[in-house]
């Protein structure tokens, strides 16, 4: 068997595709961050998933895809064609979807070395072909019989719980088998997931007045089968404040969730829960962030999901996470609560509760909570609220809903 040929320049091709995708994402932000479905409607012949993949950086898109993306965002088609041609010429192997593949040469009948020359001379090829088919059927029958016997023995011998498949049937094989928090890049400040606080990367946040909500500088919700989204920063973020991300992934696959921004912050996972319908609710945070302007953006990467809701809220007066609690429940009940997971809070802690729901009544937090703007797609809602703990005591996020729900409570100080 021939060995696989090496692919020199692979890192350069990967970087070229990622750089080109970054420019496409910048063009989309400058166009007002239209949804990929809106862009697909403008493009006409290119699907929203293809446009989404073009901005992912997994490979260099074809020119028809690039042109549709640029047209949908109001870009200069001639200028982008020059960029695309330049990138393609420098990295020809990345443009796999636009270069024709040469057809294989026509197959020629192979002569059997064991067949006597007299048979070939007389044109008698029916006998070796028939013999080959008999052997093929015999081997197939033997393999099928062995598989059937082994399967039957396995069913008889194994009486324990049925083993759960590593991934749901509609999940890509490449997704991780378990939920894992984001791993910090080499050289960056570590932000481990609970238990334990998430340390700030910049300790400029002052311990002055009680923690307070400032604004919601970024948010989005889309019915989009994808794996990442870039959120433009809509309002400036003050240096030293904290950013708390709440999100809901619908019908999601297991895997890693990462959040970063264009200033180099990486957000650590504070709380994480998945309900029985594979709806996943998370809280992530970054502390002591540098100043962000409307020229910045926040990038969210997540496993394959059918929908996403993401909200980014700015808080003042917190510098670490104390801990979290989470729970989930089926539809038809009358309440949601994280009280099943003990969480001791200290007076003055900032409590952020978020609940993701599907169908049923809209969640309503108990008195004392301040509810932030709700993100809604059809019957799917992401509801986030906050309050400052008045006492040092066990705490929980509680409220009313008849929907299928997953809730996370995060405590910060």
Mention every residue, 6+ apart, whose C-beta is less than 8 A from residue 213: 313, 314, 315, 370, 372, 386
Please confirm whether the linkage preceding 195 is cis (ω < 30° from 0): yes
pLDDT tens for the chain, 413 residues: list them: 444 444 455 677 778 888 898 899 999 989 888 888 888 888 777 888 888 888 888 888 999 899 999 999 999 999 999 999 988 876 654 443 444 333 444 444 444 344 444 334 334 444 454 555 556 556 566 666 665 555 444 443 333 333 334 456 567 655 444 444 433 333 333 333 333 334 434 434 445 678 999 999 999 999 877 788 999 999 999 999 999 999 999 999 999 999 999 999 989 999 999 999 999 999 999 999 999 999 999 999 999 998 999 999 999 999 999 999 999 999 988 999 999 998 999 999 999 999 999 988 999 999 999 999 999 988 899 999 999 999 999 999 999 999 999 999 999 99
Contact 389, 347 (CB under 8 A): yes
Rounded distance between C-alpha atoms, residue 80 and residue 69, angstroms: 10
The tokens describing 241, both together, are 């404040």
Domains of the chain from N-terminus onward: 10-94 (1.10.260.40), 212-412 (no CATH)
* pTM for the model: 0.57
C-alpha atoms less than 13 angstroms from C-alpha of 59 in its C-beta half-sphere? 12
Say if residue 108 is exposed, middle or buried (CB neighbours under 10 Å; 0-12, 13-18, 19+).
exposed
**DSSP letters spanning 290-335:** PPB-TT-EEEEEEEEESEEEEEEEEEES--SEEEEEEEEE-TT-S-
Cα–Cα dist 81/61, whole Å = 12
DSSP state of 192: P
Q: d(Cα 11, Cα 79) in Å, to the nearest integer?
A: 26
């Amino acid at each position: 068997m021939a060995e696989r040929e090496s692919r020199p320049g692979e890192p350069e091709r990967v970087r070229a595709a990622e750089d080109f995708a970054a420019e496409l994402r910048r063009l989309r932000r400058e166009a007002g961050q239209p949804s990929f479905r809106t862009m697909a409607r403008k493009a006409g012949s290119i699907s929203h998933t293809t446009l989404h993949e073009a901005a992912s950086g997994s490979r260099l898109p074809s020119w028809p895809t690039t042109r549709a993306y640029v047209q949908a965002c109001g870009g200069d088609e001639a200028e982008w064609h020059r960029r695309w041609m330049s990138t393609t010429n420098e990295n020809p192997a990345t443009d796999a979807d636009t270069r024709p593949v040469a057809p294989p040469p026509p197959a020629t009948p192979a002569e059997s070395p064991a067949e006597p020359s007299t048979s070939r001379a007389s044109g008698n090829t029916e006998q070796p072909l028939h013999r080959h088919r008999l052997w093929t059927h015999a081997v197939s029958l033997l393999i099928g019989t062995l598989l059937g016997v082994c399967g039957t023995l396995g069913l008889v011998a194994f009486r324990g719980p049925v083993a759960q498949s590593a991934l749901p049937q509609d999940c890509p094989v490449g997704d991780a088998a378990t939920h894992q928090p984001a791993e910090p890049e080499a050289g960056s400040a570590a932000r481990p997931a609970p238990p334990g606080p998430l340390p700030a990367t910049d300790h400029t946040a002052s311990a002055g007045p009680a923690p307070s909500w400032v604004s919601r500088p970024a948010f989005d919700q889309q019915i989009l089968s994808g794996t990442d989204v870039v959120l433009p920063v809509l309002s400036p973020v003050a240096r030293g404040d904290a950013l708390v991300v709440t999100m809901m992934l619908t019908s999601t696959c297991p895997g890693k969730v990462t959040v970063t921004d264009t200033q180099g912050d990486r957000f650590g996972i504070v709380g994480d829960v998945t309900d029985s319908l594979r709806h996943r609710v998370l809280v992530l945070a970054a502390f002591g962030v540098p100043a962000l302007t409307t020229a910045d953006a926040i990038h969210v990467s997540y496993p394959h999901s059918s929908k996403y809701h993401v909200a980014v809220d700015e808080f003042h007066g917190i510098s670490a996470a104390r801990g979290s609690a989470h729970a989930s429940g089926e539809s038809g009940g009358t309440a949601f609560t994280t009280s099943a997971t003990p969480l001791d809070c200290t007076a003055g802690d900032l409590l952020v509760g978020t609940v993701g729901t599907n169908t049923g009544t809209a969640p309503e937090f108990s008195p004392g909570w301040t509810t932030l703007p709700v993100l809604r797609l059809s019957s799917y809602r992401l509801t986030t609220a906050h309050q400052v703990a008045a006492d040092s005591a066990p705490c929980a996020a509680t409220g009313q809903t008849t929907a299928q729900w997953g809730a996370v409570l995060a405590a910060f100080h």
